[in-house]
Structure 1
Amino acid sequence: MSEAPSSPDPEFKRALLAQLPALRAFAVSLCGRSDLADDLVQDAILRAWANQHTFTLGTNMKAWLFRILRNGFYSRARKAGREISDRDGQLTERLAVGPGQYASLAFQDFRRALEALPSDQREAVVLVGASGFSYEEAADICDCAVGTVKSRVNRARARLRELLTLAEGDMPAPDMPTPAA
């Protein structure tokens, strides 16, 4: 909005004030709520006052003010169409993206814990857990019994949970820090 003129025209002020009841009635007919109508009228009056230098006295002030009010109403409606009501914050929580460093920190913690395992357990858990081999295939690769691979994987998983301070059956979430982080 531009600045209001330094010396307001008394004729403009009288003509503007004379249109207030009609403006309010028009605003109520547009939005259907008196509180919103009062806001619309106030905005329209402020815009008209700030732009009174563009109005030519003797022309139709009512039409000019109604156009300002109507344009303000439709501008608000367009803006409201782009806004989403989220009073309890549930939508915002679903749209929010956690910081990426948590996943990186969790991966670093996991890598350190994996390196802390004995080599036979690390080998077994990587073959079965990360590479997707079956216990039988991992046993063939390691040249040992299937039961030995199962035992190594079980001990490796238990030790990883312990090192990462996870409860039995818990998996670290990719976007949340692990307690060890």
Structure 2
Amino acid sequence: MDISRVSQDGTASVHGAIEAQLPALRRFAQRLTRSASDREDLIQETVMRALRSAHQFRPETALRSWLFTIMRNTFNTEYRRRSRETVGLDDGFAERAGIAAPQEWAVRRSELRMALRRLPACSRRTLLLVAMGVSYIDAARLCDCEIGTVKSRVNRARKMLADEIGRPGAL
């Protein structure tokens, strides 16, 4: 079918003209991609976009140039999308790679909770405030004491916990 004879109102003739350009599209896709599957995907996506937009095609333009522009834009869009993806990891890899905490961690957490409960209330509260990221100044205001008192409470609480858990200097 002659490209210059594509009628303005008939998209069926555009469809036929697009089909006639498939060999040229394959050659152009071969220059852009390395693998055969990527090449076929690019051709398919280009044809799908061209068919969706067939009503926008103007007969006075060159169909081959229009199709090549669609293909180049499709390739560039896909290239940018792939460059943002993590290389070498399939979907869901991160979820499968994580392992549940071993039993030892659960035991350590339980030991820490029990040791925290045995601390004096004022020391426990001060330590937890500082551990949650509250500044010493704000912790002093919340505990209604001096900043030096907060520092000493935190230091003593850390030492008591380390001694009780059996790992001196660990906290």
Q: How high is the TM-score relative to the length of structure 2?
A: 0.54
Written as runs of structure 1 = structure 2, the 5 A alignment for 1:107-146 is 109=113, 110-115=115-120, 130=155
- Call closer, same or farther: CA 1:170–1:80 in 2, change over 3 Å: farther
Equivalence for 1:56: 58
Partner amino acid for 1:33?
Answer: S
More helix by share: 2
Aligned length: 117
**How far has the Cα of 1:127 moved from its partner?**
5.8
Q: Hey, what's the Cα distance between the residues in 1 that align with 2:169 and 2:72? A: 57
Cα deviation, residue 113, structure 1: 2.9
Structure-2 change in CA distance of 1:171 and 1:16 (3 Å):
farther
Structure 1 Cα separation of the partners of residues 70 and 83 of structure 2: 20
Equivalent residues in 2 for 1:1-181, closer than 5 Å: 9-85=11-87, 86-87=89-90, 88-89=93-94, 109=113, 110-115=115-120, 130=155, 157=162, 160-161=164-165, 168-169=166-167
Higher relative contact order (CA 8 A, sep 6+): 1
Taking structure 1 as reference, are residues 74 and 157 closer, same or farther at Cα in structure 2, changes over 3 Å only?
A: closer
The alignment-based identity, stated in percent, is 27
**TM-score, normalised by the number of residues in structure 1:** 0.51
Structure 2: unaligned runs, 5 residues or longer: 1-8, 99-108, 122-150
- 1:76-130 per-residue CA deviation (whole Å, 9 max, x = no partner) reads 111111111234539x96xxxxxxxxxxx98x935323239xxxxxxxxx96982
Aligned to 1:139: none
Could you list the runs of 5+ residues in structure 1 that have no partner in the other structure? 1-6, 94-104, 117-125, 133-152, 162-167, 174-181
